[in-house]
Amino acid sequence: MEKELMTGGAFLLRDTRFEDVFIPEEFNEEQRMIAQTCQDFLETEIFPNLDRIDAQEEGLMRSLLGKAGELGLLGISLPEKYLGFGQSFTTAMLANEKFGAGYSFSVAYSAHIGIGTCPTSYYGSEEQKEKYLPKLATGEWTAAYCLTEPNAGSDANAGKTKAVLSEDGKHYILNGQKMWITNGGFADVLTVFAKIDNDRVLSAFIVDGHSEGITLNPEEKKMGIKGSSTRQIFFNDVKVPVENLIGCRGGGFRIALDILHMGRIKLGGIVIGAEKISITQSVNYANERKQFGSFLSEFAAIKSKIAEQVIRTFTNESAVYRICQHIDELKDSYIEKGMDHGKAEIKAISQYAIEAAMMKVYGSEVLDFVVDEAVQIHGGMGFSSESKVERGYRDSRINRIFEGTNEINRLLTIDSTLKKAMKKEIEIFEMADVILDEIHNIDEHPPIPEDYYEAKHFYIRGFKKAILMIIGQAYRNLKNQLVQEQEIMMNLADMMMQLYAAESTALRVEKLEKIHNSPNTPIYRDILDVFIYDAGCRIRKSGMDAIASFVDGDQFEKMYTGLHTYTRVIPVNVKESRRRIAEKIIEDNRYSL
């Protein structure tokens, strides 16, 4: 069968074949070599220097980025003509994942290669690309992204920084203030967003970080990611050559939004590396520490914690790489039609704004869970600044704020879904109407397929129906007021995230068994069993919260029945499943799936 591209949000309406998804076990030799290079860099340059990095030793982070550039690790996805490796989005995500275990370094790295470099890579003129990208790829120059202002955080377009054309027409004169600028203390190249004259929307500029008129506040004192340079930057009559305008006048807001989509999906991958190292630290300690004459890893309560860390990390990883493949396939289709590489990639990423927002929220909250349990497994030692997990716990918290808060991204998930539905890009409302009509005569105890994977997909289709039912009825009842009901919007976003993670995991496990004949199939099935069961419970709870907020009487009873039917999952022995998962990790003494 010819594969049909999965457009953004279409997972709600369509079934996916396991043959059509990419899973991490399918990385090729070249991709694995890049991953190993990243791992070697962490082992030799980052892990031995964590205290020096956190102390912000003068010049250290800048030099580390330079060394990464010398190895080609700053230009993995940039075209070869700009001294990059020209690798896929999926490969770049793998490098991001590996460096995600690098604490503060991962923040500096991702800011440089992502939001720092990509505005020029995606939207720059050919002259701008030729001038800046090779030096950013090699690490000769470092990059930062200047969007946020004291009174313009989530509402980025409220920024007050202004650019005025000089009398001779050769420069824009830039005045304003930016804050929370990652790499701000040493960046050579700044992407700065400002309004030209009295424009309502932003424009974007490439600014020399050493220009006259740029001043910096001292480094911010932060809860975590202490080794990351975070500064306020002031622009006082800074001259910016007119040729440094990125794209067109007033195009900066669109650039900012698209770059945020890219940053969100990449954050979903970065946290995987942090999750895996935290699990390894958890099991290492549990295998070494004795209490009451037994190793911690022998206690059932500790096994349950380790297993749940693994389950959530595995589902996060499954979902992220599924999206990466979609982005690469859509990007390639655009390139085949003659589109420039950079424009093709950002257009493809933008098509998956829904999934990017979900992965940012899901991944950051999985990491927060994993590091919290790591501290708990370590007990008192976990609260000591001498422990590795203490640093990971503090560093994790920023991810629920980065790239738009998780609350904003939950709202964005549903707002983007509704907009696609209204534009008829995905037939959400049409399918919702079918399901709402169906529940008049619903079978409350439909037969569950006997085949293992058919049963899992039966449950997943039910989850989709539950979500579509509530979206459809909410829109029927509330119309355009739905976007004001933020609690309902966030309930729906939570349901969609659980669904997407569940389906991605089911497809991965099915592919591992049917194509790769994995020896770990029993463990993978345990992960899938527990997660599908838990996802059904979580989707039902979020759905109940939603429908109780906007329907009552007969309508409530009808939707209540539908929700319970569509989220019904036959219970599994989660205790034994979790024990088997944990025992595999305990035996290997590391995250090994």
Residue with tokens 């698209």: 258
Give me the DSSP letters along 535-557: HHHHHHHHHHHHHTTT--HHHHH
Q: Catalytic: which of 345, 365, 403, 510?
A: 403
CB contact set of 338 (below 8 Å; sequence gap of 6+) = none
The Cα 53–Cα 46 span in angstroms is: 8
CB contact set of 535 (below 8 Å; sequence gap of 6+) = 463, 498, 499, 501, 502, 569
Pull the structure tokens for residue 231: 């500064």
- C-alpha dist (Å) from residue 289 to 282, 297, 384: 11, 8, 16
Do the strands 230-241 and 171-182 form a parallel or antiparallel pair, or are they unpaired? antiparallel
Tally helices (H) and strands (E) across the chain. 19, 10
Spatial CA neighbour of 262 closest among 83, 118, 134, 95: 118
Phi-psi region of 553 (alpha: psi -120 to 50; beta: other; left: phi over 0): left
The Cα 219–Cα 128 span in angstroms is: 30
Beta bridge partners of 245: 205
Pull the structure tokens for residue 29: 């030799």
> Is 403 annotated as catalytic?
yes
Pull the structure tokens for residue 118: 């990509």
The Cα 268–Cα 274 span in angstroms is: 11
Residue 241 has φ and ψ, to the nearest 5°, of -55, 140
How many residues are there in the chain? 593
Quick check: 111 and 398 in contact, CB under 8 A?
Answer: no
Catalytic residues: 403
